[in-house]
Amino acid sequence: MEILSALGHGFAVALQPINLMACFFGVFIGTLVGVLPGIGPVSAMALLLPVTLSGSPEAGIIMMAGIYYGSMYGGSTTSILVNIPGEAASVITCLDGHQMAKNGRAGPALGIAAIGSFVAGTFAIVALMLVAPWLAKFAIAFGPPEYFSLMVLGLTVLAFLTQGSMAKSLLMACVGVTLGLVGIDQITAAPRLTFDRLELLDGVGLIPVVMGLFGVAEILANIERSVQREVVSARIGSLWPTLQDWAYSKWAIARGTILGFFLGILPGGGAVISSFASYALERRLSKRPEMFGKGAIEGVAGPEAANNSAAGGAFIPLLTLGIPPNVVMALLLGAFIIHGIQPGPLLITQNPGIFWGIVASMYIGNIMLLILNFPLIGMWVQVLKVPYKLLFPLILMFCIVGVFSSGSAVFDVFVMTVFGLIGYLMRKFGYEPAPLVLAFVLGPMVENNLRKSLILSQGDFSVFIERPISLACLIVAAAMILAPLLPVLRAKREAVALDQE
């Protein structure tokens, strides 16, 4: 009853015209960036972060959240029609979605993706609503050692699940934490790694770093190769799946929804991992595994449900613990901090309007997305036909303007350019940017909690192993770091990485 009353309050917030507009704008932009290859939710959120400054915190955060779960819907469209994923979580949808499109079944593929996304998105919101308040009460007991260990675990899980060498991923996490420590030390007020540059006293900006590593680097990588996109030109036809399609898809959606939600909650997990895991699960359980890769509708339904459910689940660690489980949530954390709000165990009690407003807006946003993705599918197909050579100069321009307007400093444009080059070289040499960005956001929190723990324990490092939650997190983190040394676990990890490729 208490939850329903709180949800009612949330709807009162979310249905205010400005918040409703913010929600629509967010899911619309989310669908657009999901549809467009070359720009993902991370770049779009970084770009629009400064815009949230001019409105209320509720409107800004509702918009940012809308971009994220909206992009999960939109990503499937490009995967199915062009065989190029709009964003990383839809990579796996290419396999069967595009095959269905080539077989003249683009309509049911798009339809089941939208329906699966809607079901999973709605489930994730209900689960978020039920789990978050309970977890927040539990998290109040967390002290600095628990927070430190949990963040170490999050970074390790992300490094473990990132494709390629684990040493490279952990190295990137260390670089990210170090980058996050640039600027004035919060405890001693000493400038650190600023090299006498006044611009660095406040630290390196999140927006220029993210825009460089994801926006500019992506453009440079795309420009390097001349890629021709071929949109399936046949008529899309009816979007409604047949009874046979439903029979194949219903359990795939159910399994993808539950799997995605739990993988979304895990620190370091998220939409990408969950879609791959769901695909592997469906292929294993299917009575017709030979159809996978040739147009099996359950190969579209399961992963699409999983990535949308994970997008909802990912809000839980951020809203209840204040720890972003992935890069997108790290940006959302940035939006909270810009508005002077600290997400964490006290968010629900101290800012119920924001928490329940976000939850309610997600219900509304999901319905908006269903409308945007069902009747308006033709419009997104037209968007897909815009050639990349027209698109990339505009994306680059948006990056510059977004970065400049975030701090009114040309220095940030240089930072973005440098990180664009670094991101491009990182891709070339096989280093992943995601652990770097997540660690960059978590860096100051990691250090702060480490120092607080040591000060409180009088320099006794055993404080991290004397507390059960902290100990459990560190054991799991250590196991993951050591996993590549064990042949069985290394093979498992490489299989995941291979699947991702």
Partner 1 sequence: MLRNAQLWGGLFWLAFGLFIAFQGYELGLGQAREPGSGFAIFWLGLMMAAFATSIVFSAIKNGSEDIASLWRDTRWPKVLLIIVMLLVFGFLFETIGFVICSLVLLLVLMRVVDPVPWPTALLVSFGATFGMWYCLNKLLMIQLPNGWLSPWLG
Q: Is 228 in the site for partner 1 (CB under 8 A)?
A: no
Per rule CB under 8 A, is residue 400 in the interface with partner 1?
yes
Interaction residues for partner 1, span 406-465 (CB under 8 A): 408, 410, 413-414, 416-417, 420-421, 424, 428-431, 446-447, 450-451, 454-455, 458-461
| CA gap 177, 444 in Å, rounded | 7
Q: Is 202 in the site for partner 1 (CB under 8 A)?
A: no
The C-alpha atoms of residue 84 and residue 206 are separated, in whole angstroms, by 28
Eight-class DSSP state of 191: E
**With binding defined as CB under 8 A, does residue 163 bind partner 1?**
no
- Reported in sequence order, the residue ranges of 185-238 that DSSP labels E, i.e. its strands, are 191-192
Helix axes 57-82, 377-384, angle to 10 degrees: 70
State in angstroms the smallest separation of the CB of 339 from partner 1: 17
- CB-nearer residue toward partner 1: 113 or 175: 175
- Closer to partner 1 at the Cβ: 7 or 216? 216
Q: Which amino acid is at 311?
A: A
Quick check: 201 binds partner 1 (CB under 8 A)?
A: no
In the complex with partner 1, the residue whose CB is nearer, 280 or 338, is: 338
Q: How far is the CB of 52 from partner 1 (least distance, A)?
A: 11
Task: Kindly state the smallest distance separating residue 15's Cβ from partner 1, in Å.
Answer: 24
CB of 38 or CB of 303, closer to partner 1: 38
Binding of partner 1 by 174 (CB under 8 A):
yes
- Which stretch, 75-83, 85-93, 215-223, 328-336, contacts partner 1 (CB under 8 A)? 215-223
State in angstroms the smallest separation of the CB of 500 from partner 1.
Answer: 20
Q: How far is C-alpha 87 from the chain's CA centre?
A: 10
Stretch that binds partner 1, among 14-22, 162-170, 323-331, 493-501 (CB under 8 A): 162-170
* Shortest CB 160 distance to partner 1, Å: 14
Phi, psi for residue 142 in degrees, rounded to 5: -70, 135
Tokens 């990890």: give the residue. Answer: 493
Q: What does the block give as tokens for 200?
A: 């660095």
Structure tokens at 71: 């992009």
How far, in Å, CA of 151 to CA of 336, rounded? 18
Take residue 424 and report the two structure tokens written for it: 């491009």
Task: Give the shortest CB-442-to-partner 1 separation in angstroms.
Answer: 12
Name the residue with tokens 């000493």: 190
State in angstroms the smallest separation of the CB of 144 from partner 1. 12
227 binds partner 1 (CB under 8 A): no
Q: Please identify, using beta-carbon distances, which residue of 62 and 446 lies nearer to partner 1.
A: 446
Which element (helix H / strand E) includes 184? strand 183-184
Using rule CB under 8 A, residue 175 touches partner 1: yes
Q: Which stretch binds partner 1 (CB under 8 A): 49-57, 63-71, 199-207, 291-299?
A: 49-57
Helix ranges (H only) for 286-409 are 298-313, 315-316, 327-338, 347-350, 352-373, 377-384, 388-407
Burial of 497 (0-12, 13-18, 19+ CB in 10 A): middle
Site string for partner 1, 319-338 (x = CB under 8 A): --------------------
CB of 141 to partner 1, least distance (A): 24
Alpha-helical regions (H) of 231-346:
243-265, 271-285, 298-313, 315-316, 327-338
* Cα 6 from Cα 193, distance rounded (Å): 46
Of positions 16, 163, 286, 405, contacts partner 1 by CB under 8 A: 405
The Cα–Cα gap between 500 and 41 comes to 19
Instruction: Give the footprint of partner 1 on residues 70-129 (CB under 8 A).
Output: none
- Count of positions on this chain that bind partner 1 (CB under 8 A): 63
**Cβ(72)–Cβ(85) below 8 Å:** no
Question: Residue 161 or 177: which CB sits closer to partner 1?
Answer: 177
Query: Which stretch, 235-243, 366-374, 390-398, 468-476, contacts partner 1 (CB under 8 A)?
Result: 390-398
Query: Nearest approach, Cβ of 101 to partner 1 (angstroms)?
Result: 26
Tell me the β-bridge partners of 191: 184
Name the residue nearer to partner 1 (CB basis): 382 or 458: 458
Other CB atoms within a 10 A radius of the CB of residue 341 amount to: 17
Task: Report the interhelical angle of 433-456 vs 166-180 (nearest 10°).
Answer: 60
Residue of 178, 370, 374, 471 that binds partner 1 (CB under 8 A): 178
Name which position in 10, 37, 41, 50 contacts partner 1 (CB under 8 A): 50
CB atoms within 10 A of CB 85: 24
Cα 323 from chain centre = 13
Q: Cα(51)–Cα(332) distance, rounded to whole angstroms? A: 13
What is the three-class DSSP state of 140?
coil
- Per CB under 8 A, residues contacting partner 1 are 50-51, 54, 165, 167-168, 170-171, 174-175, 177-178, 181, 185, 187-188, 190, 192-193, 216, 219-220, 223-226, 387-390, 392-394, 396-398, 400-401, 404-405, 408, 410, 413-414, 416-417, 420-421, 424, 428-431, 446-447, 450-451, 454-455, 458-461
